Amino acid sequence: MTSLVIAEHDNASVKGATLNTVTAALKCGGDVHVLVAGNQAAAAAAAAAQIAGVAKVLHAEGDGFTHGLAENVAAQVLAVAANYSHILFAATASGKNIAPRVAAKLDVGQISDITKVDSPDTFERPIYAGNAIATVQSQDATKVLTVRTTGFDPAAATGGSAAVEVLTAVGASAKATFVGSEIAKNDRPELTAAKIIVSGGRALGSSEKFMDVMTPLADKLGAALGASRAAVDAGYAPNDWQVGQTGKIVAPQLYIAAGISGAIQHLAGMKDSKVIVAINKDPEAPIFSVADYGLEADLFVAVPELTAAL
Amino acid sequence: MKVLVSVKRVVDYNVKVRVKSDGSGVDIANVKMSMNPFDEIAIEEAVRLKEKGIVTEIIAVSCGVTQCQETLRTAMAIGADRGILVETAVELQPLAVAKLLKALVEKEQPGLIILGKQAIDDDCNQTGQMLAALADLPQGTFASKVEIVDGKANITREVDGGSETVSLTLPAVVTTDLRLNEPRYVTLPNIMKAKKKQLDVLTPEALGVDVTPHIKTLKVVEPPKRSAGIKVPDVATLIAKLKNEAKVI
């Protein structure tokens, strides 16, 4: 029994979500191998070999892997899939994009967003936006899983010394090509990896006010910025800031929700945070029912006051 | 160009589901059912492509129980031209639905297949990608923009940290994200018109697809409750608590 973790990386380094996925793979029992499919990704492969608990790294080099296109990465996974009992991806935009292609080609059911490994074939996962937790058992020989990173601690990034085996890369699909990307560049921590998240809701009222009020607090705390769906839909914050069932699932040490009422879809994305602070002027806001510390106040007064006092 | 859109009947997004006391699942008896919101966005996108003259026919497909006909009628009221129900009482998992859709893709030969990125009941986020793999098609998942130019689909996708654009040869599979469009309200005349549109009923057997579940649900429980904490009177108290009690700043 051996598990294969598909590394998420930028060719130079391995992304944090891979570390949590390795932990989930170790819980499945047996050895853990990591696949790095990239373009000039020797540094990422070397980083993967350092992850504690990893027995072997498979490294495939190809033009088709530069931008992680699902068609190409899935084909590379399928080329080695027969050797593995478990194939795990982080439940990120990239992992969610690729994993089902692998499962379908293997003719196995995929288990998405696992939060716990009960046994090598039995897993727990949230359904209905986290309003219920299902325990499910795979009936297939190969288990294809996506891992909700907040459910597993990250494996240590160093301490391992796995051998790196070079694979023959599969050819790139001619049907899909990468055109370009717009990735916001900033110095803030990534939302899903941040220790502190400062999140704003519709009460902010405009994108200018969102930035004026929330950004200084985030800067002061070295926090990532998040937003409720209502705030994103209203155009106050970029799409990829959305925390919730259909956005990012986060579990930082501290989550500060300002002007967020706490719709069930939002709570689904942040209720595993260690400490939740809610700032809202509506005493009945559902966010208070999950908050460790609730401050009933106008965010336009309280947030700047908080920023100044820190 | 024909477009195939799949629509799923799910518990309405406003309903707070209750877990059954015997742990066998969630209670969906006498609960309002609606079209999966992401699928509504998928239908809307197809209708917009038709209004632009790019698409000639929109076929809505639903797989499941008899009542999915209602979901198909809603799709036709938004603007789908006809509907296909693949009727079965078996619990359908994403792999089975992807196989059913692949059989229909072979039969109908659409140039584009649009699906919601995930259903809000099982939250799987699998079917579109599985269909693409089985039918050997390229995929543009989590789409926030769809453009059809020179026989190719340029899909802007929401990814971690921003967005990216991929160019796909047609036929292709697209799955919708929240901000692709805002679905229109269905009007009464369109609801009446939808009732007269063609709706064919097939079975998995007729399509030659085995829909046996691959994943067994052992139990369903309520998530651990997070208990409400305390209210603090002012910012100073809040900071003191975060520093001394929670020790997170």
Q: Return d(Cα A249, Cα A112) in angstroms, integer.
A: 13
**pLDDT of A96:** 98
A60-85: b (≥16 Cβ within 10 Å) or e:
bbbebbebbbbbbbbbbbbbbbeebb
**pLDDT of A187:** 79
- The answer to whether residue A193 scores a pLDDT higher than 90 is no
Q: Return d(Cα B180, Cα A201) in angstroms, integer.
A: 21
What is the overall mean pLDDT for chain A?
96
For a pLDDT cut of 90, what percent of chain A falls above it? 92
- The answer to whether residue B171 scores a pLDDT higher than 80 is yes
What number of other Cβ atoms are within 10 A of residue B192's Cβ? 10
Query: Which two three-digit tokens encode residue A14?
Result: 């391995």
- The answer to whether residue A36 scores a pLDDT higher than 80 is yes
Q: Return d(Cα A81, Cα A66) in angstroms, integer.
A: 21
Query: Which two three-digit tokens encode residue B225?
Result: 């409750």
Contacts of B34 in chain A (CB under 8 A): none
Among A108-112, A170-174, B112-116, B225-229, which stretch is predicted with the lowest mean pLDDT? B225-229
Which residues numbered 70-109 in A keep a CB inside 8 Å of some CB on B?
70-71, 74, 92-94, 96-105, 107-109
- Could you give phi then psi for residue B225, rounded to 5 degrees? -75, 140
Residue pair A91/A146 in contact by the 8 Å Cβ criterion: yes
Q: Return d(Cα B58, Cα B176) in angstroms, integer.
A: 16
pLDDT, mean of residues B209-223: 97
With 0-12 CB in 10 A as exposed, 13-18 as middle and 19+ as buried, what is B149? Answer: exposed
**pLDDT of B128:** 98
- The answer to whether residue A302 scores a pLDDT higher than 90 is yes
For residue B27, the chain A residue with the least C-alpha distance is A132
Q: Return d(Cα B177, Cα B157) in angstroms, integer.
A: 8
- The answer to whether residue B16 scores a pLDDT higher than 90 is no
> % helix / strand / coil in chain B, to the nearest 5?
30, 30, 40
* SS3 label, residue A93: helix
What is the overall mean pLDDT for chain B?
96
**pLDDT of A274:** 94
**pLDDT of A162:** 97
Q: Could you report the per-residue pLDDT of A78-91, keeping only the tens digit for each? A: 999 999 999 999 99
Q: Return d(Cα B227, Cα B9) in angstroms, integer.
A: 33
Smallest CA–CA distance, residue B193 to chain A, in Å, is 32
Please report which confidence band the pLDDT of residue B224 belongs to, taking 50, 70 and 90 as the band edges: confident
- The answer to whether residue B227 scores a pLDDT higher than 90 is no
Pick from A95, A120, A37: nearest CA to A112: A95
- The answer to whether residue A37 scores a pLDDT higher than 80 is yes
- Contacts with B52 (C-beta within 8 Å, 6 or more apart), sequence order: none
Residue pair A182/B162 in contact by the 8 Å Cβ criterion: yes
Name which of A177, A239, A297 is nearest B144 (Cβ-Cβ).
A239
Q: Could you report the per-residue pLDDT of A243-295, keeping only the tens digit for each? A: 998 889 999 999 999 999 999 889 999 999 999 999 999 999 999 999 999 99
- Contacts with A227 (C-beta within 8 Å, 6 or more apart), sequence order: A199, A200, A201, A210, A236, A237, A241, A242, A243
Which residues numbered 89-128 in B keep a CB inside 8 Å of some CB on A?
93-95, 98, 117-118, 120-128
Q: Return d(Cα A21, Cα A6) in angstroms, integer.
A: 9
DSSP A107: T
With an 8 Å Cβ cutoff, are A239 and B158 in contact? yes
**Degrees, nearest 5: CA angle B14-B20-B23:** 130
Pick from B79, B77, B120, B127: nearest CA to B99: B127
Query: Which two three-digit tokens encode residue B181?
Result: 């469009």
For residue A283, the chain B residue with the least C-alpha distance is B231
Q: Return d(Cα A175, Cα A265) in angstroms, integer.
A: 35
- The answer to whether residue A184 scores a pLDDT higher than 80 is no
pLDDT, mean of residues B50-56: 97
Q: Could you report the per-residue pLDDT of A132-148, keeping only the tens digit for each? A: 999 999 999 999 999 99
- Could you give phi then psi for residue B14, rounded to 5 degrees? -85, -10
By the CB < 8 Å criterion, does B22 face chain A? no
pLDDT, mean of residues A9-21: 96
Which residues numbered 270-289 in A keep a CB inside 8 Å of some CB on B?
271, 274-277, 288-289
Contacts of A175 in chain B (CB under 8 A): 137-138, 168-169, 172
**pLDDT of A192:** 87
**pLDDT of B225:** 83
Name which of B157, B219, B223 is nearest A126 (Cβ-Cβ).
B223
Can you name the residues that pair with A242 across neighbouring β-strands? A227
Which residues numbered 211-230 in B keep a CB inside 8 Å of some CB on A?
213-223, 226, 228-230
For a pLDDT cut of 70, what percent of chain A falls above it? 100
Residue with tokens 């080099």: A61
pLDDT, mean of residues A198-206: 97
With an 8 Å Cβ cutoff, are B17 and A293 in contact? no
Can you name the residues that pair with A254 across neighbouring β-strands? A196, A275
DSSP B54: S
- The answer to whether residue B136 scores a pLDDT higher than 80 is yes
With an 8 Å Cβ cutoff, are A96 and B125 in contact? yes
Smallest CA–CA distance, residue A50 to chain B, in Å, is 25
By the CB < 8 Å criterion, does B178 face chain A? yes
pLDDT, mean of residues B107-118: 98
Residues in chain A: 310
For residue B137, the chain A residue with the least C-alpha distance is A175
With an 8 Å Cβ cutoff, are A131 and B16 in contact? yes
Q: Return d(Cα A233, Cα A135) in angstroms, integer.
A: 33
pLDDT, mean of residues A119-124: 98
Contacts of A213 in chain B (CB under 8 A): none
pTM above 0.90? yes
Q: Return d(Cα A236, Cα A224) in angstroms, integer.
A: 16
Q: Return d(Cα B3, Cα A300) in angstroms, integer.
A: 48
pLDDT, mean of residues A29-44: 97
Cβ pairs bridging A and B (under 8 Å): 260
Query: Which two three-digit tokens encode residue A47?
Result: 């980083």
Residue with tokens 């051996």: A2
For residue B170, the chain A residue with the least C-alpha distance is A175
Q: Return d(Cα B198, Cα B206) in angstroms, integer.
A: 19
Among B52-66, B124-138, B151-165, B189-203, which stretch is predicted with the lowest mean pLDDT? B151-165
Residues in chain B: 249
**pLDDT of A183:** 85
With an 8 Å Cβ cutoff, are B154 and A179 in contact? yes
**pLDDT of A265:** 87
Q: Return d(Cα A86, Cα A214) in angstroms, integer.
A: 42
pLDDT, mean of residues B123-139: 98
DSSP B41: H
For residue B246, which amino acid is it?
A
Q: Could you report the per-residue pLDDT of A154-163, keeping only the tens digit for each? A: 999 999 999 9
Name which of A92, A122, A246 is nearest B178 (Cβ-Cβ).
A246
Which residues numbered 224-243 in A keep a CB inside 8 Å of some CB on B?
229, 232-233, 238-240
Q: Could you report the per-residue pLDDT of A218-257, keeping only the tens digit for each? A: 999 999 999 999 999 999 999 989 999 888 999 999 999 9
Name which of A67, A70, A176 is nearest B129 (Cβ-Cβ).
A70
What number of other Cβ atoms are within 10 A of residue A144's Cβ? 28
- The answer to whether residue B109 scores a pLDDT higher than 80 is yes
Q: Return d(Cα A239, Cα B113) in angstroms, integer.
A: 24
For a pLDDT cut of 90, what percent of chain B falls above it? 93
**pLDDT of B226:** 83
**pLDDT of A30:** 93
- Contacts with A108 (C-beta within 8 Å, 6 or more apart), sequence order: A138, A140, A141, A142, A143, A144, B95, B214
